[in-house]
Structure formats: C-alpha cells, structure tokens
Amino acid sequence: MIKKQFSFPSILALLLFSTLSTKNLFAQKFENLAPTPPMGWNSWNTFQTNISEQLVKDIADVLVSSGMKDAGYTYLVLDDGWMAMERDPKTGDLIPDPKKFPNGLKPVIDYVHSKGLKFGLYNCAGTKTCAGYPGTRGYEYQDARLYASLGTDYLKFDWCNTEGINAKEAYTTMSKALKTAGRPIVFSLCEWGNNQPWLWAEPVGQLWRTTGDITAQFDGIKNHGTWHANGVMTIVDMQDTLRKYAGPNHWNDPDMLEVGNGLTPAQNRSHYSLWAILSAPLIAGNDLRKMNDQTRAVLTNKDVIAVNQDGLGIQGFRHRNKDSVQIWIKPLSNGEWAVCFVNRSSVAKQIEFNWQNETIIDKDFNKTLDTKANTYKLRELWTKKDAGTTKAVLKATIQPYDVLMLRLTK
C-alpha cells in the first residue's frame, strides 16, 4: 500500500488557496452589476409615498405587457414610504407599512421576480428618510441583511437628516454592509452631488445622483421654499464636466425620468434623447398603467436605448451651445457615434451643420469623429429615416423643444 504523505506546508498552501478562491468568488458576485446604465421604474416621481402591493403588481404586469421589460427596463424600485413609521421594537428591523403591504414585502418581491424583473427598495443614510420614515443610520448591517433576505436587487440610498456625518464614510459603510449581507445589490447613491460622489464613489456603488431632484418641467427650476427642483435642461446644464468620471459600473445619475409626466411630446423626446446621450440610468417615473402611445413609444425607442446602453459606456459631451441649440455627441462601439441637436427654445430653429468643417474630438476618451477620413451614414432615431451622409451639409428645422437624434455608421 502506498501511503500519501502531506507535509504541513502543503496543507497550509491548500488551505490558503481555497480561502483565496472562495474570497474571489465572493468578490466576483459584486462586480459588473451595472455594465450599462441601469434601467427600470421608480415610484417616486408619480406616486411619492402613495404606494401599495396592488400598485407594485400592476406596474410589474404593465412593464411586461407594454414591452418595457423587453426594451431593457429591469428594476422595479419602491421609493420612500414603503415602511411603517417605527422599527420593530423588539428586533429593530424595518417593517413594511401594514396598510400598504398587508402581506409584507416578500410576496410582492416574489411576484416581481416571477415576471422576470428585479426589485429595488429605498432608504436613507440619515436618521429618517426625506419623507420622515425610519432611516438607516446605525442600522446599516441589519437593514442590509433584511434587504438580502427579502431578495432585493437594488438599493437607492438617500441623504436627508444626515447632519454632521461624512458622505464618503456613510455610503462606504452601507456598501460594505450590502456586501457582507452576501446578495448582489446594485447600490444607487442619492446625495444629490453635494459631496462630489464622482470623485470617490466608484468603488462604493454603481450610480450616484449628480444634482437635486428633477421635476416635470422642461427648463428652469420649481421653487418649493426651502428647496427647489430642477427642470430637464437645468439638470443638463450641470452634467458636461462630469463625464470623465462615468463608465461601466459607475454612472453619473442626473435623476429619474419625467417622460410621460406632463411634458409635451417634443420635450419628452428631448429629455429621453439627452438621458441616452448622457449614459444616464433610464428609470421611468410615470404611471405606466395610464401612459399614452406617445409616451410608450418614447420609453421603448430601441434605437435611442441602444445609444444609452452602448457597451463602450462613454458619457456624451456637449459640442456646441449656441443660439438655444445644443449639440451633444457620444462615441459608440465599433467607431460609431450618436449626435443630438436639441432646440431649447420656444421657436423653431433652422440648423446647418457642415460635418467637413467640424473638428469633433473627445479629449477625455481619446476619440475623433473624423469625417474627412470616413464617410458616415446618418440615421434619425425618432423618425427612423436615413438622413444622408457626412459628405453633405446637414440642413433641418427643429421644432420648439424638439430634438434631432442621429446615429452615424461607417
């Protein structure tokens, strides 16, 4: 009989190897959770805290029946107001509001999962959420365990009632708590850009808000006394300098969509086109049960979504801003480009764009749109019509608040 001898060092090496590979497997679970900007729906923009089991089920159904799930909308996220006003006095756990969710959250989440969708929840780094429900401060690991045990896939983490705490530390603690709980959960930081999360949040979460809240108006701000909400173009004005910080698994988030919440059809198109060019998360915020055909067509325009979801993951840049017409450009995979002309004003604008005279260089990502060396074909992504090539001067009229969105292919 041959007796195998294992020396002490070889056993030690084996142990070390297996611990390391388990660790690697564990770490891998949390990588690549958002290789392209997350897409989904969130309850806040339309429903605020008026949410319920029935609403979640209805929205899950319509995400599927409207074609939105097929178009890429995966996450159904419940924002503020899903919990009772107090934690469980014995365990300290958060409790779902018994009126809104009489059967708890588990059956609701299981229903969402049964539709092939993913589920998200909201809480806040402070002592209370923005709407006054129990916040997570001091309960990070406990709340993370609860979310993981419920089968949560996404956490939006807000920044109200956080006086005196350090944002990087608070979000890092929650990020560690989520990893420790062991379930891959997309972590969406929502501290409104106050502490420049683009400078530190890449290892912390997959997306971070860059501004205060959006509101369903195209331009300007809406004053609420102690705070104000931003129109679509006001948010756009704040994005251009942040692009170099975004990329796969770490996205700038200019807030959720207001498409279908009262903007005109042209404004809906412009808002959506710009969010696509900005590689922004596409989180719809309208009442999907009641959306009209125009809204649905905007939210499911696969060509525009393809610009947003392009695998290179490069956020677009503003090439020109003149006479109320902005030109936004985004490099795409395979040497293709998206180019978007937005008319910010209330009057129609004639545009003439001579590709041959333009120098279009993306300095941050080292790309050149070279129309001298290459001839690109143009396709307009809203009318779905071919629009000539870059050899000709592009001439078009853009209606008030409307957009012309092109994809350039060689």
Yes or no: say if 170 and 135 are a contact pair by the CB < 8 Å rule. no
Which C-beta is closer to ligand GLA: that of 80 or that of 310?
80
> 26 in helix, strand or coil?
helix
Query: Site for ligand GLA (CB under 6 A): how many residues?
Result: 10
CA-CA distance, 39 to 176, in Å (whole number)? 24
Site for ligand GLA in 201-260 (CB under 6 A): 213
Which segments of 93-153 are extended strands (E)?
A: 118-124
Q: Does 155 bind ligand GLA (CB under 6 A)?
A: no
CA-CA distance, 81 to 48, in Å (whole number)? 8
74, containing H or E segment:
none
Stretch near ligand GLA under the rule CB under 6 A, chosen from 123-131, 143-151, 258-266, 352-360: 123-131
Which C-beta is closer to ligand GLA: that of 26 or that of 227?
227
Q: Is 346 left (phi over 0), alpha (psi -120 to 50) or beta?
A: alpha
What is the nearest approach in angstroms of ligand GLA to the Cβ of residue 158?
5
Site for ligand GLA in 274-303 (CB under 6 A): none
Q: Does 171 bind ligand GLA (CB under 6 A)?
A: no
Which C-beta is closer to ligand GLA: that of 77 or that of 242?
77
What is the nearest approach in angstroms of ligand GLA to the Cβ of residue 299?
19
Stretch near ligand GLA under the rule CB under 6 A, chosen from 18-26, 128-136, 198-206, 325-333: 128-136
Residue from 36, 39, 79, 316 touching ligand GLA (CB under 6 A): that is 79
Q: Does 190 bind ligand GLA (CB under 6 A)?
A: yes
What is the nearest approach in angstroms of ligand GLA to the Cβ of residue 359?
39
User: 366 Cβ partners below 8 Å, 6+ apart?
Assistant: none
Please say if 310 is a catalytic residue: no
Which C-beta is closer to ligand GLA: that of 152 or that of 343?
152
What is the nearest approach in angstroms of ligand GLA to the Cβ of residue 66?
23
Yes or no: say if 160 and 124 are a contact pair by the CB < 8 Å rule. yes
Cβ-closest residue to ligand GLA? 130
Q: Of the listed 79, 80, 153, 158, which one is catalytic?
A: 158
Residue from 53, 80, 153, 402 touching ligand GLA (CB under 6 A): that is 80
Residue from 30, 38, 40, 44 touching ligand GLA (CB under 6 A): that is 44
Yes or no: say if 281 and 214 are a contact pair by the CB < 8 Å rule. no
Yes or no: say if 207 and 249 are a contact pair by the CB < 8 Å rule. no
Q: Does 158 bind ligand GLA (CB under 6 A)?
A: yes
Buried b (16+ CB within 10 A) or exposed e, 132-160: ebbbbbebbbbbbbbbbebebbbbbbbbb
> 96 in helix, strand or coil?
strand
Please say if 303 is a catalytic residue: no
What is the nearest approach in angstroms of ligand GLA to the Cβ of residue 236?
18
DSSP one-letter string for 205-259: -SEEE-SS-B-SSSSSEEE-SS-EEE-HHHHHTTTGGGGGG-BTTBEEE-----T
Residue from 68, 95, 130, 242 touching ligand GLA (CB under 6 A): that is 130
Which C-beta is closer to ligand GLA: that of 208 or that of 353?
208
User: 112 Cβ partners below 8 Å, 6+ apart?
Assistant: 56, 60, 76, 118, 119
Q: Does 191 bind ligand GLA (CB under 6 A)?
A: no
Q: Does 131 bind ligand GLA (CB under 6 A)?
A: yes
Residues that bind ligand GLA (CB under 6 A): 44, 79-80, 122, 129-131, 158, 190, 213
State the catalytic residues: 158, 213
